[in-house]
Amino acid sequence: MTADRQGVQTLTALAWAVLLAASAGVQAQLPAQNRGAAGAGIYQEHCAACHDGRVTRAPQRWFLEMMSADALRTALETGVMRQQGAALSPAQRDALVAYLAPANAAATASTALPPTCSAATTRFDFDAPPFASGWGIDPENTRFIPAAAAGLEARDVPRLRLQWAFAYPGATRARSQPSFAGGAVLVGSQDGSVFALDAASGCLRWRYRAQAEVRTGITITPWRVGQAPRVIPAYFADLVGRIYAIDAVTGRELWIGRASEHPSATVTAQPVLHRGRVYAAVSSREVVAAADPLYPCCSFRGSIVAFDAANGRLLWTRYTIPETPAVVGHNSRGIEMLAPSGAAVWNSPTVDARRGLLYFGTGQNYSSPAQGSSDAILAIEMRRGGAIRWIRQTTPRDAWNAACVMFVRDKTNCPAENGRDLDYGSPPILLRRLDTTGPGLAGAGRDRLVAGQKSGVVYGLDAADGRVLWERRIGRGGNQGGQHFGMAAEGHRVFVPITDNEDWASDVPPAPGLHAVDARDGRLLWSVIADNVCEGRKYCDPGISAAVTAIPGVVFAGHLDGRFRAYESASGRVLWEEQTDREYPATNGGVAHGGSISGAGGPVIVGGRVYINSGYGYSWHMPGNALLVFAAEK
């Protein structure tokens, strides 16, 4: 390996650390040369030829470095890399895993499994089907849970107390939103496990092991009370872009598909099940690979893919950028530059069953020139191969990648636009026939989309044609600011979490916290700016990045500082609060550690219990590995 290439790899690893470091384990993302010569040599001899970008279907090293030590070892010994792993001695495999895996992966985690459920608690309850409130089943993505499903009233919220806690094994982050069916909670984890836990006690019904980290929620096929299907397919995705179907009753594998052949492709959004098809949104980490000036930037295009839910057959792919990336020049190192690229999708599409459409948001372009479907809301047709119905771009000329980061000295691959990375991270909310008659209100009972962007701006769009009906700036916005993973709605109120944890040069004051807007005209109804209670804690911020969830009269929101709050939906008054940045006794022994709360896996309220993940050891936030379950004290 040449000295120049060594320097490039060090620089790229630094960019990776800047963007994606495990919060309390920055040591885990230090440049490769500082993590052991033995493992580095084994990687170069046995792995680099495929995983440094020269084999199309091989995940790049950045993906490997995001996997837990346990998951890597499983891949090498019994998983997809067992043939390659067989060529290594046990000591060599250990050195390779130590080189690639986060050094702190086990530092905050129990490695034990929960106690196995008794025969009575293992029994699948066919009288408890999943509920369709935007959790992957015909979703309109309101994130509103009706009273009958929530089983919790506003008056009971102040009496919430911890019922049980689970420590995700080998984890520094907890991102998979819990799903429910048959009396069980199904949830994915960083080590690639999908757990079926008894909802009441947390005991283990079954465990399925995927091939990489599972960040998405689990979408469970619905059935009617009184039915007892032999198989109940449940769908999810892993870090390297595989789509899985397993039986929710037993955990048995049904099929595995692949969302994209691009080596940097990933799926972080929960798949959507609708009328026999599974729809998945495809994102990418090529934005990080571009920090290497010897990397030919960039060839990835975001997409929505459709699979046959019964057998996993890929039915169609609709790219967010119609043109195939082509060589448009060479950078100063003589490396090919490709465009257009980017416009990744990292939010679950919203289903409009009446129009036969999917709505979703896109991210920025990765290379110049920027084009017209980045930082946009798109509507595509489900039954015509994903044909694009309309595009509404709200931030033009946003081309950006990790080469633009201030810590990266060689900015060869930074696009000329050097944009602000103002993705749409959360899905648009579809609100049916709002009563918008009256003075100052736009429209007359039309279907409305409400979309929040990392710019800090929220938009009201006409669902029929994407026309902007109103826009409201709520936060300062920025690369790590604005609106991130998911809003919620109760009637015409839309609840908007804002992060705003950066000091961007702007005349707009930061607004970290929770806000409510009127979906009819964009009017700001109330704002609660989060006070800073970090008191010197490392990687602590007061804003709200995670998706929020509403029940009648209450909005639940998890903060980056670890606070989990319940807000009164009419006023924003805080009804209840739990500081989760601490230790909890875990059902699987030892303790579960809370931390920052972030990601699309927001709180879920089902059957009188409130479930929340705490821990987001990722991109300078506080790590943790806790699934916490609360119920109202009698």
**Domain map of the chain by residue range?**
3-100, 119-632
User: What pLDDT was estimated at residue 270?
Assistant: 95
Question: Read out DSSP for 145-173?
Answer: --HHHH---GGGGGGEEEEEEEE-TT-SB
In whole angstroms, what is the distance from residue 375 CA to residue 321 CA? 12
How much is the average pLDDT of 109-125? 84
> Checking phi first, is residue 153 left (phi over 0); if not, alpha (psi -120 to 50) or beta?
beta
Structure tokens at 120: 């009575």
> Checking phi first, is residue 445 left (phi over 0); if not, alpha (psi -120 to 50) or beta?
left
- The amino acid at 615: G
Q: What is the pLDDT of residues 523-570, one digit of tens each?
A: 999 999 999 999 988 889 999 999 999 999 999 999 999 999 999 999
CA atoms within 13 A on the CB side of 578: 27
**pTM of the entire structure?**
0.88
Q: What is the enclosing helix (H) or strand (E) of 280?
A: strand 277-284
Closest residue by Cα to residue 359 from 430, 263, 455: 430
If DSSP states are collapsed to H, E and C, what string results for 3-33? HHHHHHHHHHHHHHHHHHCCCCCHHHHCCHH
In whole angstroms, what is the distance from residue 101 CA to residue 252 CA? 28
Give the number of other CB atoms < 10 A from CB of residue 607: 15
User: What pLDDT was estimated at residue 6?
Assistant: 35
Give ∠ CA 335-339-345 in degrees, rounded to 5: 120
Of 36-50, 59-73, 363-377, highest mean pLDDT:
363-377
Residue 1 has pLDDT above 80, yes or no: no
Q: What is the pLDDT of residues 9-43, one digit of tens each?
A: 333 333 333 343 322 232 233 234 444 578 888 88
Percentage above 70 pLDDT, the chain: 86
Of the options 3.40.50.620, 3.90.550.10, 3.30.470.10, 2.140.10.10, the CATH number for the domain spanning 119-632: 2.140.10.10
